[in-house]
């Protein structure tokens, strides 16, 4: 039965919330664990459906997964003996593409369906393939399947044509056990890439420069057991920070790395919120009203595309014209039609949304179309007059752990119902 959220309107986000482990790190760390035959322990994993699905795929390849409790999982890849993950599972999540790099590193070959994930416009994997090919792999793409074969991977010099998180991590995974040195130029610099590099290095890999645009990897013969804790999720943190500013509230997000949130704190200050940083927390307090501003998404350290919908929702309240330009995913605008149903005045010109702010939103039945847009609808519902229903929440559950309970922690009413219940 399809579930939905009922969001009570005109509420204020207030309180403290401890941020979970980063989805985008976790979905790369788990496949990376298959690069060794030894046991790997990963802590601070978020409990989200993308992780459940990824673990199902890893089990289907022969990995055994046990839970010593809490948010910790032990992965034993000793018996992994398959290099062709099953299609129906792989199709359900984007991050399954990291199995390409990790299975290539482990077996020198992989057969995998084209990855699924949210529809944000075209999401090619040509840069991943370019990297594997440069390392000596032969890649065949056809009938929805990617087949990669090698006679042993060799280090290579790879210049990425576009800054891609997925390609950077995937090439890193394939390169750690390749023969010789790999250099990735024009690499993405996201904190999740640094987290994966730290994990690999703790296993015995030699990755240098993660977090800059040149990553150098000296291949090693073997990787070993490791224990690792996932970094905090900057997108979950940003969601609650924006929600507080948008609802005239006051929130402290705890257990974060404030540096990772610099582009978000800078924007929130620009719209008129009071933002204070501590060593591992950020407080966001809304002052009198909001100021319009322009937002341009870019790869890290630019403003994250994953918080673009949330920021757009906030800007519907800021008097004046705001421009939101999406530079990462060309069609990441499917939330606009739903926001218009709530009375938002937004027009789209190419990659730029023009928001005529200063209007109150009113409740409407909404359907989440993707993970982050869906979470932004909850913020819109909190701002609106009346109660808002957000349907299709399977998208939101992919990447936010029980988001309704998290919003309840900061004092607002967001309830989950199954269809027919209420």
Shortest Cβ distance from residue 23 to ligand UD1 (Å)? 7
3-class state of residue 300 by DSSP: coil
Closer CB to ligand UD1, residue 165 or residue 284? Answer: 165
Catalytic residue among 72, 118, 293, 334: 118
Of 19 and 167, the one with the shorter C-beta distance to ligand UD1 is 167
Q: Which of 85/357 has CB closer to ligand UD1? A: 85
361 φ/ψ sector (left φ>0, alpha ψ -120 to 50, else beta): beta
CA distances (Å), origin 270, targets 192, 263, 315: 26, 11, 11
167-171: long-range contacts at Cβ-Cβ below 8 A with a sequence spacing of 24 or more? 167/125, 167/127, 167/128, 167/130, 167/131, 168/193, 168/215, 169/28, 169/98, 169/101, 169/193, 169/196, 170/97, 170/98, 170/100, 170/101, 170/128, 170/131, 170/132, 171/101, 171/128, 171/131, 171/132, 171/135
Rounded distance between C-alpha atoms, residue 258 and residue 210, angstroms:
19
DSSP alpha helix (H) spans, 5-111 = 23-32, 49-60, 87-90, 98-107
As measured in angstroms, the least distance from the Cβ of 16 to ligand UD1 is 26
Whether 118 is a known active-site residue: answer: yes
What is the closest distance, in whole angstroms, from the C-beta atom of residue 343 to ligand UD1 in the complex?
28
Q: What is the DSSP letter of 404?
A: H
**Closest distance to ligand UD1 from the beta carbon of 44 (Å):** 17
Q: CB nearer to ligand UD1: give 16 or 130.
A: 130
Residue nearest to ligand UD1 (CB): 166
Residues at the contact surface with ligand UD1, assessed by CB under 6 A: 24, 27, 94-95, 122-128, 162, 164-167, 188, 305-306, 328-329
Q: How far is the CB of 319 from ligand UD1 (least distance, A)?
A: 30
Between 236 and 306, name the residue whose CB sits nearer to ligand UD1.
306
Residues annotated as catalytic (active site), given as ranges: 118
């Amino acid at each position: 039965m399809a579930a939905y959220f009922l969001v009570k309107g005109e509420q204020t986000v207030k309180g403290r919330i401890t941020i979970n482990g980063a989805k985008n790190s976790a979905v790369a760390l788990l496949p990376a664990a298959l690069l060794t035959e030894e046991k790997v322990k990963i802590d601070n994993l978020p409990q989200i459906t993308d992780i459940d699905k990824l673990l199902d795929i890893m089990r289907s390849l022969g990995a055994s997964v046990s839970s010593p409790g809490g948010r910790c999982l032990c992965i034993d890849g000793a018996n992994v003996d398959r290099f062709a993950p099953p299609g129906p599972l792989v199709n359900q999540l984007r991050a399954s593409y990291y199995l390409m790099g990790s299975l290539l590193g482990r077996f020198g070959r992989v057969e995998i369906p084209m990855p699924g994930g949210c529809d944000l416009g075209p999401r090619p994997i040509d840069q991943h393939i370019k990297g594997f090919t440069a390392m000596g792999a032969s890649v065949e793409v056809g009938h929805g399947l990617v087949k990669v074969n090698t006679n042993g991977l060799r280090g290579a010099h790879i210049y990425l044509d576009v800054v891609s998180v997925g390609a950077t991590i995937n090439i890193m995974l394939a390169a750690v056990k390749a023969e010789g040195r790999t250099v990735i130029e024009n690499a993405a610099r996201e904190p999740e890439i640094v987290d994966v590099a730290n994990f690999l290095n703790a296993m015995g890999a030699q990755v240098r420069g993660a977090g800059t645009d040149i990553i150098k990897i000296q291949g090693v013969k073997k990787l070993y057991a490791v224990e690792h804790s996932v970094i905090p999720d900057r997108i979950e943190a940003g969601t609650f920070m924006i929600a507080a500013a948008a609802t005239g509230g006051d929130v402290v997000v705890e257990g974060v790395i404030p540096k990772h949130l610099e582009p978000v704190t800078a924007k929130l200050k620009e719209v008129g919120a009071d933002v204070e940083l501590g060593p591992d927390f950020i407080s966001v307090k809304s002052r009198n009203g909001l100021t319009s501003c322009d937002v341009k998404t870019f790869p890290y350290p630019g403003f994250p595309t994953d918080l673009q919908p949330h920021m757009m929702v906030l800007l519907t309240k800021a008097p004046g014209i705001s421009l939101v330009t999406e530079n990462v995913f060309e069609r990441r605008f499917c939330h606009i039609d739903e926001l218009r149903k709530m009375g938002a005045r937004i027009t789209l010109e190419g990659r730029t949304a023009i928001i005529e702010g200063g209007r109150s939103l009113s409740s409407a039945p909404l359907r989440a179309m993707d993970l982050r847009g869906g979470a932004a609808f909850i913020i819109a519902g909190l701002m609106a007059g009346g109660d808002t229903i957000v349907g299709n929440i399977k998208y939101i559950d992919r990447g936010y752990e029980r988001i309704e309970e998290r919003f309840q922690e900061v004092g607002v009413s967001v309830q989950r119902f199954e269809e027919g219940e209420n």
